[in-house]
Structure 1
Amino acid sequence: MRITETSVGLRTSHGVDCSLHARIRAGDPEAFREIFLSHAQMVYRHALRITGDWALAEDVVSLTFLEAWRLRGRLRDEGDSPRPWLMGIATNVLRNTVRARRRHERAMARLPARQTVPDFADELIGRIGDAEQLFAAQAGLARLRQCERDVFTLCVWSGLSYQEAAQALGVPTGTVRSRLARARARLRKLAQEELKNKQAEREKAEPGSGSGQVQGGRTEAARSSQERNR
């Protein structure tokens, strides 16, 4: 029997079993199946929280694992999980995807406006408190600097440790800590501003209590109806 990297568990100088890392580098389909089953949902949730678009989040998952396959030779034997490496790839895919979507939206905005039927389902969903909070968080997140946004989404939304986020982004752990502290403070303030603005817009859109109402209430309305039926 021939002994290869994919048939035995290799160990680094730190004693970490890195057989999975070696199998990934070797292009073992089963190894990629393992990391897909273990981490696809995490990448999807990460992308959905940032984009707010289910279909786009699914595209990000596909692109992330395609890119991971292309870059499999760059996976190093650090830690006991490929999660930081994979989330680093997902972060770059998201940057490019969001940029492409913004370019598409700007191009569409330059086209002549068409008359569309309002989507009342979206309006109802928008009135749910959780949806409003998510919108406010996404809007506030978009106003953060890119480096702060990356650290926040990886550490808070996707649950990476400081060390894992540092590995994913290629920065020192101390940088992750300081960026995350700034991001938390700024995002809290920005999200509160967004919620206040949405509340003000909703109150402004609601009809006034006195406008358009029939004077005299139900009695007048009933009387008018009886007169029409005579």
Structure 2
Amino acid sequence: MVTEGDELALVDALRADDPEALAALFDRYADRIYNHCFRATGDWADAEDATATVFLEVWRHRGRVQAHDGSALPWLYGVATNVCRNLTRSGRRRRRGLAALPPPSVEPDHAERVVDRLGSTARMQTVLAAVRELPVREQEVLGLVAWSGLSYEQAAAALDVPVGTVRSRLSRARARLSALTEE
């Protein structure tokens, strides 16, 4: 049994920065503080967190520890009550904050897009392989007119050739591509 003198000596040692005194208080009262925190929070995990926080606060404020009727337990219960109150208050704030957020949007399944992109990549590789079989001049005209959307006149100006040359090169490129892709 703990005598009043032992408890007062423990409080004095704690005020004198003795970590052993904190360990002794923890060993004596952690179960009671834990049960108090559980009754205040209604959650075992929160009670564990609160108990740890209580003894952390006791160490931080060890110069203010008080013994009532020869025991530090009433002061520990006061610290525990404040810790649980703060924990409960912060939980309410967190829940209100989360409730104020818009609901998460449902993201579409990207698997179909990935499959489509892989398919289009494969098709593009096939087309590019066929285009690479064309002479460079026809590749240039095809790229400017068919893929970039330039008019014949704009492509002719870009390549510094007559408009008729652009037309004939594009015609030959289309015919060769058609023959290459039908094989």
TM-score by length of 2: 0.50
Name the structure 2 match of 1:80: 70
Q: In structure 2, list runs of 5 or more residues that go unmatched.
A: 106-183
Residue 61 of structure 1, CA deviation: 0.7
Q: How does 1:1-230 map to 2 (within 5 A)?
A: 16-17=4-5, 18-113=8-103
Name the structure 1 match of 2:171: none
Residue 80 of structure 1, CA deviation: 2.3
Bigger fraction of residues in helix: 2
Aligned length: 101
Residue 114 of structure 1, CA deviation: 6.1
Computed over aligned residues only, the root mean square deviation of the Cα atoms, in angstroms, reads: 2.1
Letter in 2 for 1:107: G
1:52 and 1:113 map into 2 onto residues whose CA distance is 28
Letter in 1 for 2:61: L
1:19 and 1:30 map into 2 onto residues whose CA distance is 12
Residue 102 of structure 1, CA deviation: 0.2
2:100 and 2:35 map into 1 onto residues whose CA distance is 32
CA contact (8 A) 2:65 2:75 kept: yes
1:88 and 1:50 map into 2 onto residues whose CA distance is 12
Letter in 2 for 1:89: V
Letter in 2 for 1:43: I
2:101 and 2:44 map into 1 onto residues whose CA distance is 25
Letter in 1 for 2:17: G
SS in 1 for 2:66: coil
Letter in 1 for 2:72: P
Residue 76 of structure 1, CA deviation: 3.2
1:39 and 1:97 map into 2 onto residues whose CA distance is 20
2:81 and 2:64 map into 1 onto residues whose CA distance is 16
Residue 97 of structure 1, CA deviation: 1.0
1:29 and 1:106 map into 2 onto residues whose CA distance is 39
2:67 and 2:40 map into 1 onto residues whose CA distance is 29
User: Which contiguous aligned blocks of 4+ residues in structure 1 show a shift greater than 6 angstroms?
Assistant: none
1:2-38, Cα deviation, whole Å (9 max, x unpaired): xxxxxxxxxxxxxx52211111111211111111111
Letter in 2 for 1:72: R
TM-score by length of 1: 0.41
1:33 and 1:57 map into 2 onto residues whose CA distance is 19
